[in-house]
Amino acid sequence: MEEKPQKNGEWVKTFASVLIITIIIRTFLFAPVSVDGASMEPTLHDREKIIVSKTINWVGEIHRGDIVIIKDPEEKMNYVKRVIGLPGETIEMKNDHLHINGEEINESYLTEAKKVTSLHGTTLTEDFGPVTIPKDHYFVMGDNRPHSMDSRGIAPFSLGFIAEDRIIGKSKLVIFPFKNIRKTN
């Protein structure tokens, strides 16, 4: 069998195709994000790399408990936080227990964080509220509540309510370091 010589422009077309597909995937489907800081400990750790699904903008919804990536337009960085309250809900924290619309909510993802903070004799989350979340906004907190800048408090020490259009995706998977590969939801 005789090999046909490859046309000079074939490799350029292949490279351009791969580049276009990569840009489409990163723009509309999935992207890697680095966790910066300890605000999501013990769920996510500083410098871990996670894969973020960007499909929430056109497929799917945001649910309580989702770990989301939030774009901060002023600082040009991303925050990784957990959705605690949904649009229109009234949220309150009393004695380390979350209440939404008057009903206590189990935050099972905080089990390990509560064990750590209880050793130090502190509460995980100080009391606040009740506050009502505006339409098209979310209330977010880090899992490491004593060390998280989130929706609690007043700016500049708070992210405030998060507008839906600032949420760029949901965390799906830790991909680095390789020994820590796991699902995040």
Catalytic positions, written as ranges: 39, 81
Buried residues in 125-135 as b, exposed as e (16+ CB within 10 A) = beeebebebee
Short-list 160, 184, 181, 159, CA closest to 170: 184
Neighbours of 38 (CB within 10 A): 15
Question: How far apart (Å, rounded) are the C-alpha atoms in residues 172 and 185?
Answer: 6
**100 three-state secondary structure:** strand
Taking the CA atoms of 100, 106, 107 and 112 in sequence, report the sign of the dihedral they define: positive
Partners of 138 in beta bridges: 162
Q: How far apart are CA 53 and CA 114, in angstroms?
A: 28
First-to-last C-alpha distance (Å) of the chain: 53
44 SS3 class: coil
